[in-house]
């Protein structure tokens, strides 16, 4: 018997919530890797992503699910740069680094494809909630492996987080989806182009904020 998802499960807003949080905070996540150390950020990202997945799987309404997907994007933005930095520091020699990134890219691509297939199988045979719950055991294994195999990195005590720049990036990325909405609603062309460029029109031309 196939499982029928409730009507309040809608793919597009859930994808947008994740993508905006991930894209908007990706630079911040990279900076945090320097501030706190790659391993610490990697582990924090794994734990947070697992917790967000568990919350999404247990979501009792649409708003909780949106919050969970947004949190997944936030912690995913911590995972992505810290993972690449750990690879670069672990495999310092050029031949080894090339092979490591090649294997990482292959696994990431295959994982994305297999994840879609597994998600479809879980949705049809069990429940859409298991598409989120399934992340928890994988994250737990990754956390255990990080404590065992990844060496602790020194923090860059001279690094600082640019709060104003980070807020500007998040605000700019957050306006991207509004371009299409503004276009459909008949907004002025300048407003639409500004939104689609990922720049809030109120910020003025790029030269004014660079």
Residue range 180-190, pLDDT digits in tens: 555 555 545 45
Tens of pLDDT along 15-49?
888 888 898 888 888 888 888 888 999 999 999 99
Q: What is the pLDDT of residue 75?
A: 95
The residue ranges of DSSP E strands in the chain, in sequence order, are none
pLDDT, the chain, mean: 77
Where does the pLDDT of residue 175 fall: very low under 50, low under 70, confident under 90, or very high at 90 and above? low
What pLDDT, in 10s, does the model give residues 61-85?
A: 888 999 999 999 999 999 998 988 8
Structure-block tokens of residue 132: 């989120």
Q: What class, spelled out in words, does domain 11-149 have in CATH? A: mainly alpha
Domain boundaries, the chain: 11-149, 175-209
The per-residue pLDDT for 2 is 42
pLDDT of residue 52: 95
């Amino acid at each position: 018997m196939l499982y029928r998802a409730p009507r309040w499960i809608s793919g597009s807003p859930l994808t947008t919530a994740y993508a905006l949080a991930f894209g908007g905070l990706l630079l911040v996540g990279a900076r945090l890797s320097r501030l706190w150390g790659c391993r610490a950020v990697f582990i924090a990202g794994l734990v947070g992503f697992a917790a967000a997945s568990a919350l999404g799987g247990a979501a009792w309404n649409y708003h909780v699910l949106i919050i969970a997907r947004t949190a997944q994007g936030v912690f995913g933005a911590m995972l992505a740069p810290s993972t690449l930095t750990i690879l670069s520091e672990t495999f310092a020699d050029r031949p080894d680094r090339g092979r490591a990134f090649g294997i990482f890219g292959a696994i990431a691509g295959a994982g994305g494809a297999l994840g879609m297939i597994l998600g479809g199988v879980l949705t049809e045979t069990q429940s859409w909630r298991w598409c989120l719950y399934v992340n928890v055991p994988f994250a737990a294994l990754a956390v255990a492996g990080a404590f065992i195999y990844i060496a602790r990195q020194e923090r860059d005590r001279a690094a600082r987080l640019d709060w104003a720049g980070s807020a500007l990036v998040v605000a700019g990325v957050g306006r991207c989806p509004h371009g299409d909405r503004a276009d459909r609603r008949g907004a002025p062309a300048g407003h639409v182009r500004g939104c689609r460029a990922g720049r809030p029109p109120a910020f003025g031309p790029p030269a004014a904020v660079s």
